[in-house]
Amino acid sequence: MRITFLGTAAARPTVGRNVSSLIVQREGDVMMFDCGEGTQRQMMRYGTGFAFSDIFFSHLHADHFLGVIGLLRTLGLQAREEPMDLWTPLGTAEVLKQAVELGVERVPFEVRINELEPGEAVKRGVYDIVPFRTTHAGRSLGYAIVEHPRLGRFNAELAREMGIPEGPLWGKLHHGEAVEVNGRTIRAEDVVGPERPGRKVVYTGDTRPCAPTREHSRDADLLIHEATFAHEEADRAVATGHSTAREAAEVASAAGVHRLALTHFSPRYADDPRALEREARAVFPETVAAYDGLVIEVPYRDA
């Protein structure tokens, strides 16, 4: 699983940072989370390509969704034919629909707007995208990308020693079925190890520290948490519905995540967020301050 940060600034772009957006690539699937103004240029700059069909919005503040207008226009000019699904918090579809209709001339593909309630998972076979309520704009969402548990390792050497012929019987055992070989019943657990965890990546969008984030981030491989302010601006963070770097780290620590990436930096820190990174690392050492173009690979833990 690969995450590419396309925009890491809060509220407005700076010389070195664009506003919020990131791409998640999971094997052959590609999805975008938030789409601030100028996102399409960032996609070209960092080579993510345009072969994706889902954009998930955390909320509809301008710095998180205005880029979808230019992006859809560009895809239309590229003669795209595949539908595009836009996913937005419950009660916000009409705002998104009006923006798209005002800003985008007729495009040669279907644009589908879907509203999501917290907990209403978007199921994709071997993984789910789970929205959860955050504390920011009243109807804001975070998202957890949660892979299903994987099959245990198949012990091929032991299977051969037990006289199990390669082929369909191996497949049945690997998928939990018992088989019969020369009058013996062989159970799956005889040759298959315990199931292995999938990966989990969590993106908060804009939010105060909150219980749903901690709950859905439990044991996550990567938590991407906003850190708009340093803790000296804690009162301002509360007033605007944002988090400090220290608060993001406290969430990561409480949830037992494995890595934390900070993003959504106020322009006052955007040119040099090292102070925010140090503040967070004092609480949670496995922290990085994201920057535009940063790529984070999320391997399987048993890789």
Catalytic site positions = 63
Q: Report CA-CA distances (Å) from 111 to 24, 55, 74, 208.
A: 20, 11, 14, 32
Tell me which DSSP letter residue 240 carries: H
Sheet strand arrangement including 287-289: 122-123, 127-133, 141-147, 200-203, 222-226, 260-263, 287-289
**Nearest C-alpha neighbor of 142 from the set 218, 78, 58, 266:** 58
Q: Which residues contact 8 (CB under 8 A, 6 or more apart)?
A: 17, 18, 20, 263, 264, 265, 270, 290, 291, 292, 294
- Annotate 64-95 with b (16+ C-beta within 10 A) or e (fewer): bbbbbbbbbebbbeeebeeebbbbbbeebbee
Are 213 and 227 in contact, with CB atoms under 8 Å apart?
no
Question: What is the rounded distance in angstroms from the CA atom of residue 115 to the CA atom of residue 299?
Answer: 31
Are 217 and 257 in contact, with CB atoms under 8 Å apart?
yes
